Amino acid sequence: MRSIPLFVIASLLILAACREPPPPSPAPEAPPTTETPPPVALTPTDAPPTASPTTAAAPLQIQAIIGDGAKFQFAFKESADVLNFQTARCAAEAKGDAAKQAACLDAVARESAGEGIRFEKTGDKLEWVSYGLDKDGKEEIYLRAAIALLDAPADELHFRPVGPLTGKQAAEIGSDKLAADKFLIVKARDAKTIVMQAPLPKGALVYHRQ
């Protein structure tokens, strides 16, 4: 590699010495501040709106729902205990024949469509009435009895018959009244739906106001 001649180096040094000194470099700009500005206090008009308190729903009053003589139609397919019982019964009778089982359940559903309950006032007495439709579509009384109301929550009716049971099914019960320590419960699910707790296999029976 060829070396650079000494005179070239000397000439460069002379030229460098004869130059005017470079102007002073401008002062470096201050780096941007990263400090967070203090929060601005919110005035009442800037403050976010506060959520209004939720109004608690008024408890259901079953006395108002059942009314005087209001009819409640039985909902067979919504009453799980009796639906399961009838499904098992129809399956046993059908012996594996799906069409027969379906026809059996359809027959139960049609028959139960006319069934219902209501509460009627006779003088100062309140009566519980269970009814259905006969083959001509006319109402027939299954059970009727004067009842005594027991202490219960506002959305429930606790009662027991206090007199003789009358109606088509009265003889099947085998007594003119329920035992003194037994009572029935009807609970309001919503403003048009009640559920009556019956002994198994019926269980929880769902009714819709007509």
Q: Tens digits of per-residue pLDDT, 144-182?
A: 999 999 999 999 999 988 888 899 988 887 554 555 567
- Is the pLDDT reported for residue 2 higher than 50? no
Query: In b/e form, how buried is each residue of 100-117, taking b as 16+ CB within 10 angstroms?
Result: ebeebbeebeeebebbbb
| 77-124 pLDDT tens trace | 999 999 999 999 999 999 999 999 999 999 999 999 999 999 998 888
Grade residue 76 by pLDDT with cuts at 50, 70 and 90. very high
For residue 28, what pLDDT is reported?
52
| 184-197 pLDDT tens trace | 899 999 999 999 99
| 51-63 pLDDT tens trace | 555 556 677 899 9
pTM of the model: 0.69
Domains of the chain: 62-79+115-209 (2.40.128)
> Peptide bond preceding 201: is omega within 30 degrees of 0, i.e. cis?
yes
Residues with Cβ < 8 Å from 202, sequence gap 6 or more? Answer: 79, 81, 82, 85
For residue 34, what pLDDT is reported?
52
